[in-house]
Structure 1
Amino acid sequence: MTKSGDPTRCDVVVIGGGLQGLSSAYHLAKRGLSVTLLEAEYCGRHASGVNAGGVRSLGRHVAEIPISLMALDDYWHRMPDVVGHDCGFVGSGQLQLAENEAEMQVAAERVALLNSLGFHHEEVIDAAYVRKLVPSISPHVHGGIWAKRDGYALPFQTVVAFKHSASQLGAHIQEQSPVLKVESHGADWVVHTATQEFRCGHIVNTAGAWANGFARQLGEETPAETNGLMLMVTQRVAPFVRPTLGALGRPLSFKQFDNGTVVIGGSLMCEADEVARCADANAAALYKSAQTVTDLFPHLTHVAINRVWAGVEAFMPDSIPVISPSSTVQGVTHAFGFSAHGFQLSPAIGRLVSELVCDGRASLDLRAFSITRFQESGDHSS
């Protein structure tokens, strides 16, 4: 409804149409709530569409592992039963390469720590096993960490599947509707766009790189930083690698699709303009990543890069997101700051958000992700 009339009423307004927002809308609608999702541009425009599509439990921060395993077991390996589409998921396994003995020691210590905590999804493998999985790998690789149930999916298909499923459950998804401000009215919230107002009992803040601005309106600004993320894709080449690859000693996200193209990412950072909502590709960073790839696969030295693209993401200083009720007001839940590794988590994040909204508590321990952790640490930088 326009501002000349009464605000449109719903139970929950979700701000942001990336995968965290779409998954939250899906799970909230599944719980029977009336949901409106407001997206400033189009769904999946930034971090959810500009990522390598890694379905990765491998190498996670320990606090994230339970969420990651929930996403892997309850969603990615049964996605057709969840949203009626496989989202392009391929259970290729993920392999984190160790290129020297020091990195092999790091791998052994990592897996020993996880085993001591009751997690057994990662295993150390030697050079012979790496070559069995990836015969074309450079001979200098010493081994690595293998997560056999990991893989990759297609971000666009995943965005479309969750958007469609949320809509089928009754969620109203409205694109090209940037939220300008939120304000409380008694027990309700009013969410303002340029032309409309929405009244609701609860707000879910999944606005990605712009989420900190809404937290700031509530008096709980975090030290989130906004950066651009890049990906590049090569021309088609003959099949040479099945697993999705990362590296212990340097940034890398690397996979070959069935059509022969290779997608290269791995924390490829560039400058972002938060106001203009855009990021500019950085040739120097792309060159450095390409050098990593050719070190590992020398036969790719002369393969052409066909396309580069970029989007905007929020990064937290401790590299894990905020998944938390507001610390200052009632009726607001935050889920943002996924720091370039939120894609795999997203199906589970929506479920946890719905639990926080509907039940007042989540089924997993989310204390590590509290928005108050920055206040407690005394870190108020921006």
Structure 2
Amino acid sequence: MTEADVLVIGGGLHGTSSAFHMARRGAKVIVLEADYVARHSSGVNAGGVRTLGRPLPEIPLALMSREIWHGMTDLIGENGGFVASGQLKIAESEDDLEACRQRVALLEAQGFTHEKLVDRKTVLELEPAIAPHVTGGIWAERDGYALPFRTTNAFRRAAQRLGTRFLEGMPVKRIEQRGNRWIAQTPRGVFSAEKLLVSAGAWSGALAQQVGETVPVRPEGLMLMVTQRVAPFCRSTLLGTGRPLSFKQFDNGTVVIGGKLIGIADLPNRHGEVDFVRLVKSARTVTDLFPHLKHLGVNRAWAGVEAFIQDDLPVISASRAATNLYYSFGYCGSGFQLGPGCGKLVSELMLDGAPSLSLDAFAIDRFGRGASVH
């Protein structure tokens, strides 16, 4: 039996960030990853470093995490490819623009000022190549994008420098508490620690169920596509209002298109499959906004598996059924930006007993007795 202070199940960004922050506090941490680090949602998301458009309960976490992004190199020695491009949510009709107005008014009533309503003229000043039918939008100046696989592995390397062990190809089949120790059983060995963090994405619900905690979580295949290179035309990271879109152009000229594009999830075989019909719909949104891309070729499309929860909020919580058991999963395709900050909050929850920002909205017992695992 291999022992540690903390076991982390899942080598995505939230698992690696939590491991880093706990190792930074002196904890001996082992991370158990079923595939390889950043295999699924942490490696295949669109890389948006986004406070824009967050559900209200997530906004304090997102704003805190954004400050970490801006100081990432000081924290872990790398920036994960972070570019502070700003993020722009595009309105394509008067109804879209009214929805933007209502959104900004709601946030300002809650004391949040990071989202700014902008008119059509400002949108065209920010992005001159965009189609003239746009009516305005919302601008978040300090948002941007980063490279998901690179970021997750940057946290991995930082955690390893502090003594954390990462064991890949190590799926956890069973968890149980024996006395004051948590036991994780894998096909390649048994691991033990005082504290256990379940951060296994779409596979977390089944582990929670083993201790009697039921979460309405479902797996989805999350897709992305990247185009051939084209001359620079877009500086911001773009989102849609009336239809899903996540869109950015890298310095090398390629364009990455996402926006919670749902593919096919094969949970038992740990595999995500591309749904090309849905990709075509997303590509059409892009060419409506940038007609000159109509004949641009797509180089590659890929998919991974992500956990979506019934109320569109993650579970970031201590267990209510057992001691020294914690959860961080179900980020619904929007967890990348939160990773650096939530890893810090989870470390505080696990090592201090309380986080520096409230996580009450993300408690695992919020669903009631009628919820079930899908």
Shift, 1:112, TM fit: 1.0
* 1:166 matched to 2:156: no
Contact 1:29/1:171 (8 A) holds in 2? yes
Structure 2 unpaired stretches of 5+: none
Deviations 1:121-159 (A, max 9, x none): 000000000000000111110000000000000112101
- Aligned twin of 1:3: none
- Output the CA distance in 1 between the equivalents of 2:184 and 2:340: 25
- Output the CA distance in 2 between the equivalents of 1:59 and 1:136: 23
Q: CA 1:40/1:381 → structure 2, altered by over 3 Å: closer, same or farther?
A: closer
Q: Which amino acid is 1:310 matched to? A: A
> Of the candidates 9, 12, 33, which is equivalent to residue 6 of structure 2?
12
Q: Aligned with 1:26: secondary structure?
A: helix
Q: Which amino acid is 1:21 matched to? A: G
Shift, 1:381, TM fit: 5.5
- Output the CA distance in 2 between the equivalents of 1:249 and 1:41: 36
* 1:366 matched to 2:366: no
* 1:279 matched to 2:272: yes
Alignment of 1:70-81 (within 5 A): 70-73=64-67, 75-81=68-74
- Aligned twin of 1:57: 51
- Aligned twin of 1:47: 41
How high is the TM-score relative to the length of structure 1?
Answer: 0.97
Q: Aligned with 1:271: secondary structure?
A: strand
- Output the CA distance in 2 between the equivalents of 1:363 and 1:336: 19
- Aligned twin of 2:132: 139
* 1:247 matched to 2:240: yes
- Aligned twin of 2:346: 353
Shift, 1:279, TM fit: 1.3
Q: Which amino acid is 2:372 matched to? A: H
Deviations 1:339-382 (A, max 9, x none): 00000000011111111111111111111101111116x43352
> Of the candidates 8, 15, 18, which is equivalent to residue 21 of structure 1?
15
- Output the CA distance in 1 between the equivalents of 2:273 and 2:165: 32
- Aligned twin of 1:35: 29
* 1:204 matched to 2:197: yes
- Output the CA distance in 1 between the equivalents of 2:96 and 2:282: 19
Where does structure 1 differ by over 6 angstroms across 4 or more consecutive aligned residues? none
Alignment of 1:268-347 (within 5 A): 268-347=261-340
- Output the CA distance in 2 between the equivalents of 1:57 and 1:255: 16
What is the root-mean-square deviation of aligned Cα atoms in Å?
0.8
Contact 1:218/1:329 (8 A) holds in 2? yes
- Aligned twin of 1:380: 372
* 1:130 matched to 2:120: no
Q: Aligned with 1:245: secondary structure?
A: strand
- Output the CA distance in 1 between the equivalents of 2:188 and 2:127: 55
Contact 2:218/2:373 (8 A) holds in 1? no
- Output the CA distance in 1 between the equivalents of 2:105 and 2:209: 40
Deviations 1:4-44 (A, max 9, x none): xxx11111000000000000100110111110000011000
- Aligned twin of 2:226: 233
- Aligned twin of 2:147: 154
- Aligned twin of 1:4: none
Q: Which amino acid is 2:45 matched to? A: N
How many equivalent residue pairs? Answer: 374
Q: Which amino acid is 1:349 matched to? A: C
Q: Aligned with 1:373: secondary structure?
A: coil
Deviations 1:162-193 (A, max 9, x none): 00000001111111111111111111111111
- Output the CA distance in 1 between the equivalents of 2:373 and 2:221: 19
Deviations 1:198-237 (A, max 9, x none): 1110100000010111101010121101010110000000
Contact 2:118/2:136 (8 A) holds in 1? yes
Q: Which amino acid is 2:264 matched to? A: E
Contact 1:41/1:176 (8 A) holds in 2? yes
- Output the CA distance in 2 between the equivalents of 1:381 and 1:50: 24
- Output the CA distance in 1 between the equivalents of 2:142 and 2:312: 24
